[in-house]
Chains A and B, each alone.
Chain A
Amino acid sequence: MMQFMLLFSRQGKLRLQKWYVAHPDKLKKKITRELITTVLARKPKMCSFLEWKDVKIVYKRYASLYFCCAMEQEDNELLTLELIHRYVELLDKYFGSVCELDIIFNFEKAYFILDELVLGGELQETSKKNVLKAIAAQDLLQEEETPQGFFDDHGLG
């Protein structure tokens, strides 16, 4: 089971955090800080796995973003890499060649996609098509209940 997933930039800025285990906020921050430092300190030629406390950290860098998952001892590290890749593919399909800025400005979308892929720390859907379909349908629901047109685009600010 995945215990948590963090997305952070090369500068060490957190871009997304998803916790599947209950920790107090303080501990979450501490773990995040330590882990970001540890992962960023690793050289590119090092492998993507890291034994860290009682979890296995699996991380992979895509462009400027690090995707970092904490897995339990019994989990398959190589499969976790596939899971990260699947998530990136989904983001890419959804945003259309995704970049860090997309995730910064639309972080909630990134969360929604993750929630359709993983639930409670385990993979819930192995079909990319199904995930995107579910997201699109929910986006549509949102749009339907929101007045369209002129006000939309420019918001009310």
Chain B
Amino acid sequence: MAYPMYEVDWSVLPPEQNRRFNPAFNIATIKQVVNEAIERVAPVSVRMPTPTRLRDLIRQIRAARTAAEERSVVNKECAYIRSTFREEDSVWRCRNIAKLLYIHMLGYPAHFGQLECLKLIASPRFTDKRVGYLGAMLLLDERQDVHLLITNCLKNDLNSNTQFVVGLALCTLGAIASPEMARDLASEVERLIKSPNAYIKKKAALCAFRIIRRVPDLMEMFLPATRSLLTEKNHGVLITGVTLITEMCENSPDTLNHFKKESGQREIVPNLVRILKNLILAGYSPEHDVSGVSDPFLQVKILRLLRILGKNDAEASEAMNDILAQVATNTETSKNVGNTILYETVLSIMDIKSESSLRVLAINILGRFLLNNDKNIRYVALNTLLRTVHVDTSAVQRHRTTILECLKDPDVSIRRRAMELSFALINGQNIRSMMKELLTFLERSDAEFKAHCSSAMVLAAERYAPSNKWHLDTLFRVLLKAGNYLRDDTVSSTLQIVSSAAPERQAYAAMRLWTSLERSAVSGDATEKQPLVQVAAWTIGEYGDLLVSEASNAISMVDEDGVDDFVRPTEEYVIDVYQKLLWSTQLSINTKEYLLLSLAKLSTRFTTQPSQDKIRVIIDTFGSHIHIELQQRGVELSQLYRKYAHLRPALLERMPAMDAPGGAAHDDADNDALSDVSPDHKPDHVNNDALLDLIIGSDSLTNGDVEHKPSQPPASNNNTSSNDILDLLSGLDLTPTAPASVMNNNVASPGLTAGLPASLAPGLTSAAPPASLLLDGLFAAPMQTPTMQDLPTVTALEKNGLRIVFGVQRGGDSVTLTMRAQSSSPSTLTDFLFQAAVPRTFQLDMMSPSGTVLPPQGEITQVLKITNPSRSALRLRIRVSYNVDGVPVLEQAEVNSFPPDLFN
């Protein structure tokens, strides 16, 4: 096979840089000579046209002006290369594979070259092998089937006499070793680690490192050979040896101990310390010097291994304390390379059981890093501080000012780290100043930060707020500055905080928010701050009376800058601002829903006639709004001015304080829900059990739940009461854990959502469903008139001063009962809850009650609609629960005294 014209592209530069180009030769002459030579000696090549050279192909491809043109060049060449592969043309294989690898890099498929790479590897020529292995590393990965074939080639080459052939095989094995290959070739690699040749030794050590990564079981067999690696002088062998040991130690604690205790002649820690010391103290060695530092690569690797050895090991840590201090103090820091070593040293000091003085030294190094001009060094400093801040907060606190400075860094990654670190540093002492800086940061920061930063600020404020007023102020500032980037749950948690604040705080909140709302309405940037508008709308809706009253003069509105910019608005001006916002085309439907309900609430808070008229006009306008949700809301609310005007004050009364944190964890949702029904948990369970009896005890009765399953296991019945209640709101897709507060709050307001755990919020993002259902129910009750006394009444219960009477109204196969609970007891009954159950052939729809608090001589009404297609006599079971003077009371009764001809 001695063709005189081997492919020789490899060392040839493009002609424009070809220093060996001799223009004396005329290409035509050359071609002729060449062709003659080929015809003489190479019959194969005569049949096949000589292939394009690699550099010519590259040039052709680069000359292509369009992607299509490039594709056509590539396709043509690929077709040609395929054909040479079919012809088994071994002369040009090497060149063709090289071209294919270039084509592959451009992103074209090249898998058809895989087998040809193996043929090249099997060739005795070094050039073929070199290109073949390169191709194998690029075109094969450990998923390919051809691995069986390559394993044999590798095995042969690992035994070659030429060190470079062994080197190529090791390099390929290290890059693409599959678990099978690793197992098959591990013993060869182990043999090569013991080779006296440093070139082979270092490559074999890294190969072993990769093999262990792939198949940790194989670690054992490498242990003896690995021990001796650290006694070598050659830096290549040392660094690969350290890498291998590091991998082994990270892999198994047993091996870690093995190395600590019995590493050949010497223990490993003193050995590593000695190597490191030699590196630092030895004079200038040109071979390994990098800007005045002796082999930083090796130093870093050793430091990392020391870190693993010293972790949780006081004795080992003690042995390396000195050298770490030495490295930390003696390393030249004017260049990146010195800082690289310092950085690794700091990591080691932090991880091992080091002396406290050393730790301070390490944190101070990071502090200096923060002031470095090199952004990369500032970045790693922040990153490392972030890792250590939980261990050594006070040491990091000392660099707080520098860290806060980094919030203004031009580099976004540094700002991100600085922000995270700042949040980690917040505590009760520095919350005020930290939040001030972070607010400035929030205002200026990029959009991507705002969501994360604002929620973290809300959390920090909640955790460390020094006072309630400060907390509210901070929340409002965050609302103002985060704008629409604020997460939804922040709105509900803010509402919850406002709702549970003291009355004068609530007035303060309304006033503050009014100022912001008015400002953004006037400047027209309300669309950018919809969460703010929502919170403001809710708060003003709830506490609007405080906002416009004289009493607001008594509340200081002087802010941190000593400015008091609050001007008490007139009622009409408030309505004007609302109108402006509601008329805006940019505000989201959700925000408008908040505004509209808030406006309706204001109708019961404001007193002057003009403002009342305005409110009514605006609400009526929404009756024809293009958006169906708002339209429905508009229609419903305007009904509260007409037919159901008597219900309006009760429906729109102030929300009770929301105790549960809005963003409560999901687990807490259930408890929150229960505690809303009654503050005490115990009676609640009693209630539930009683209800359970009520349901299960009478087979023929249902609890009003159309889809009730009698076989429901008791365990899940804990939530039955809320299930029943939620059926009132049928159509709402709530999970059984939904808070019963939905039922208790007869007032439909955005606050409903606020009271719900965040996980439920999506189903209830607006308060619309409860509100609309409530009113739907009212409308659905046909012919309900206030003159109920005229109709037949049935007394259902009379006990302890509580009287429950049903007003009955017939309607074909359905009947409407109006439950009236009247109290003659001297105490107020709270948490009043009325429940009813009917036999299964009946259908029961219960409307919301008019209230949950029954004052002495007061009355609560609730409408029940019963449908009975079978027209049999009505039987009804009722259950009433309430608290009187803090004592829970539960009453049950069966009502059978309805007229038999009720359904006719």
Contact = CB atoms under 8 A, between A and B. Distances in A.
B520 to A, nearest CB: 32
Nearest to A152: B8
Contact of A120 (B17, B51, B125, B175): B175
Given A111-B134, A146-B127, A154-B25, A78 B376 contact: yes
A125 B167 CA distance: 13
A51 to B, nearest CB: 8
B412 A46 contact: yes
Contact of B12 (A45, A51, A145, A153): A153
A115 B362 CA distance: 36
A75 to B, nearest CB: 9
A30 to B, nearest CB: 11
A138 interface: yes
Nearest to B171: A115
Contacts, number: 213
B300 interface: yes
A64 interface: no
B203 A119 contact: yes
Interface in A125-157: 125-130, 134, 137-139, 141-143, 145-147, 150-157
A45 B411 CA distance: 6
Contacts of B102: 107
Given A22-B176, A49-B413, A156-B7, A76 B344 contact: yes
B90 interface: no
A83 interface: yes
Contact of B174 (A74, A120, A150): A120
A152 B344 CA distance: 50
Contact of A134 (B51, B199, B410): B199
A106 B107 CA distance: 18
A50 interface: yes
A125 B295 CA distance: 10
Nearest to A23: B141
Interface residues of A, number: 70
Nearest to A83: B297
A122 interface: yes
B422 interface: no
B22 to A, nearest CB: 7
B101 A108 contact: yes
Nearest to B107: A29
A22 B141 contact: yes
A123 B170 CA distance: 14
Contact of B411 (A24, A46, A83, A157): A46
Interface in A13-33: 14-20, 22-25, 29
B376 A81 contact: yes
A149 B143 CA distance: 43
Contacts of A138: 126, 130, 164
A105 B59 CA distance: 9
Interface stretch (B333-341, B580-588, B607-615, B767-775): B333-341
Contact of B340 (A79, A105, A109): A79
Interface residues of B, number: 95
Contacts of A154: 25, 27, 30
Given A78-B340, A119-B203, A120-B175, A153 B300 contact: no
A122 B209 contact: yes
B56 interface: yes
B380 interface: yes
B58 A146 contact: no
Most chain B beta-carbon contacts within 10 A, residue among A46, A49, A157: A157
Contacts of B202: 119, 124-125
A32 to B, nearest CB: 9
A151 B35 CA distance: 11
Most chain B beta-carbon contacts within 10 A, residue among A24, A108, A141, A155: A155
B171 A122 contact: no
A79 B141 contact: no
A133 to B, nearest CB: 9
Contacts of A137: 164
A142 B11 contact: yes
Most chain A beta-carbon contacts within 10 A, residue among B8, B106, B131: B8
Nearest to A13: B106
Nearest to A48: B376
A142 B343 CA distance: 43
B2 to A, nearest CB: 9
In the A-B complex, the 8 residue pairs with the closest CB atoms: A120-B174, A78-B340, A120-B210, A157-B53, A22-B142, A22-B141, A47-B375, A119-B206
21 contacts: A16-B105, A19-B141, A22-B141, A22-B176, A22-B178, A29-B107, A45-B411, A46-B413, A50-B413, A77-B379, A77-B380, A78-B343, A78-B376, A79-B296, A82-B337, A82-B340, A104-B62, A107-B105, A124-B206, A125-B236, A157-B50
Interface of A: 1, 14-20, 22-25, 29, 45-51, 74, 76-79, 81-83, 86, 101-102, 104-109, 111-112, 115, 119-130, 134, 137-139, 141-143, 145-147, 150-157
